[in-house]
Structure 1
Amino acid sequence: MDTSALYKLCFYVPVTHVEQVKQAVFEAGAGHMGDYDCCCFQSAGQGQFRPLQGSNPFLGSQDKVEVVEEYCIETVCMEQYLQAAVSALRLAHPYEEPAIDLWRLEPLPG
C-alpha cells in the first residue's frame, strides 16, 4: 500500500497554452491515478486581471483590465513529484504569476 501524500493541483491557463502546460506537468510526474496517467479534469471559463506598474504581462497592457478565455486544470500529484510538477508548470506557463491552488488530500475511507 502506497502511503505517499497525495495532492490536488489546480491551475488556470490560457487556451493557447493548455496542452503545453498539461504535458509539462504530466512529464514531471503529476496526473497518475492507479494504472492510468495524464489524468485531469479541465473546464473552460474566463480569467480576469489588471497588470499593474512594473508588470510584464503576456497578455494585455498595464492599468487595463483584461478578460481571457482560460481553462481550469485539476489533477493529482504524489508528494515526491510535487516540487518538480509545480516547477514544470511555472516554466511552461506563459504568465508571470500563474494562479495555482494546491490541496493535500485525505485517503478515502474503507
Structure 2
Amino acid sequence: MYKLAFFVPIESAESVKNAVFEAGAGRIGDYEHACFQTRGTGQFRPLEGADPHIGKVGALETVEELKVEMVCDEAYIHAAIAALKLAHPYEEVAYDVWQLADL
C-alpha cells in the first residue's frame, strides 16, 4: 500500500481527484474516493522556457491550492500517478509517494 499526496489549484481539484480515483487510488476497505484535503497557498516562479498554466515567466506567483492525500494499492500506484500527471493542469506536478508498512 502507498500514500499519494499532491498539490492542485482549487478550481482543478475535483477533476484531478476523479481521474486519480478512476485509476484505482483512494480505496480503503469497502470505501472508495477517500482522501484528505488541506487548503494552502502554493508559490513558484516560472523560469525561462516554462509554459505556465498560471502566472508569467520570471514573476513570482501564489495560488490557492489543495494538498490531497490518499492511499493507493500497489497494483494501481503507477496508473494513479500517470492519471495525476495527465489530468493536472500544471506542466510540472508536485507529488509525493510513500510506501506504507502494514503493522
TM bucket (normalised to shorter chain) is: over 0.9
Secondary structure class of the residue paired with 2:53: coil
Give the paired residue count.
103
| AA of the residue aligned to 1:94 | P
SS of the counterpart of 2:75? helix
Match of 1:97 in 2: 92
Q: In the alignment, is residue 49 of structure 1 matched against residue 27 of structure 2?
A: no
Q: Structure 1 residue 51: deviation in Å?
A: 0.1
Aligned to 1:84: 79
CA distance in 1, matches of 2:50, 2:11: 21
> What is residue 56 of structure 2 aligned with on the other side?
61
- Hey, which bits of structure 1, 4+ residues long, moved more than 6 A? none
**Equivalent pairs: percent with the same residue?**
56
Give the alignment's Cα RMSD to 1 decimal: 0.5
Letter of the 1:76 counterpart = V
Q: Which runs of 5+ in 1 are unaligned?
A: 1-5
Task: Look up the match of 1:38.
Answer: 33
Please name the residue that 2:22 is paired with: 27
- Letter of the aligned partner of 1:48 in structure 2? Q
- When normalised by structure 1's length, the TM-score is 0.92
Letter in 2 for 1:105: L
- Amino acid paired to 1:69: E
Q: How far apart are 1:73 and its partner, in Å? A: 0.0
User: In structure 1, what is the Cα distance between the partners aligned to 2:55 and 2:69?
Assistant: 26
TM-score (norm 2): 0.99
**Could you list the per-position Cα deviations for residues 39-89 of structure 1 after superposition, in whole angstroms to 9, with x for gaps in the alignment?**
000010000000000000000000110000000000000111011100000
